[in-house]
Amino acid sequence: MAGLSQLPEPVVRPALVVISGLPGTGKSYFGQRLARRWPFVVLESDALRRTLYPSPDYSPQESWRLFKAVHLLIERLLEKGVSVILDATNLAERHREYLYSIAERRDVRLVLVRVEAPPEVVRQRLKARVETAQANSEADWGVYRKMRPSLERISRKHYAVDTSRDITPVLDKIIREVRK
């Protein structure tokens, strides 16, 4: 949330970058790397959840309230000309559809990114995350396995990136797209 105190300069046509992926696939890593290359505000759902709910229960009601606030924040930032990266699992197409409608209503550039990594890499990342307790997310291997069947195909044009490899080519393509 500290990033919201100093918003980047507004632009004529801001962009909304929606990052989707299972826990441990590298969504936050990808979003942070992208934000170093262009003036974005990064909205990380795990950090926002912890801000709104210091002891989150991850209930459907809590998630509904969280994403209602996230969507409102996205709308307000885009309205001010501020480009936004949404870092959240965004696994279901029905949830992404609301983000699509925000982009269409605001006439902003919409960039969709599916982040993935091989399961063994994810397992190691999640194990390290739990051991160091440094991430905003509390997701572990069990959560990853539970969520994996709910991963739905993105119906629109999107970038797919394996964060166990060099992500620079995809970052370059996205920066070119938002500069158009």
Q: What is the secondary structure of 73-100 as a DSSP string?
A: HHHHHHHTT-EEEEES---SHHHHHHHH
Considering the domain 14-179 in this protein, what is its CATH number? 3.40.50.300
Judged against a pLDDT cut of 90, whether residue 139 lies above it is answered with no
Q: What is the percent of the chain with per-residue pLDDT over 70, rounded to a whole number?
A: 96
CA distance 14 to 86: 13
pTM comes to 0.92
Cβ–Cβ contacts within 10 Å for residue 53, how many?
Answer: 14
Would the CA dihedral through 169, 128, 147, 29 be positive or negative? negative
Return the bridge partners of 86, or none. 18, 43
- Could you tell me the pLDDT band of residue 138, with boundaries at 50, 70 and 90? confident
- Asked whether the beta carbons of 174 and 115 are under 8 A apart, the reply is no
pLDDT in tens, 27-59: 999 999 999 999 999 999 999 999 999 999 989
Average pLDDT over residues 138-144: 88
Please name the helix (run of DSSP H) or strand (run of DSSP E) that holds residue 120, with its range, or none.
helix 119-132
Measured CA to CA in angstroms, residue 27 lies from 17, 38, 90 at distances of: 12, 17, 11
Three-class secondary structure of residue 114 per DSSP: strand
| pLDDT-derived band at 7, boundaries 50, 70, 90 | confident
**Beta-sheet strands, E only, within the chain:** 15-20, 40-44, 83-87, 109-116, 159-162
Please give the pLDDT value at position 132: 74
* Confidence bin at 4 (pLDDT 50/70/90): low
What one-letter code names the amino acid at 167?
Answer: I
Rounded to 5°, the CA angle 76-82-83 comes to 110
End-to-end CA distance of the chain: 29
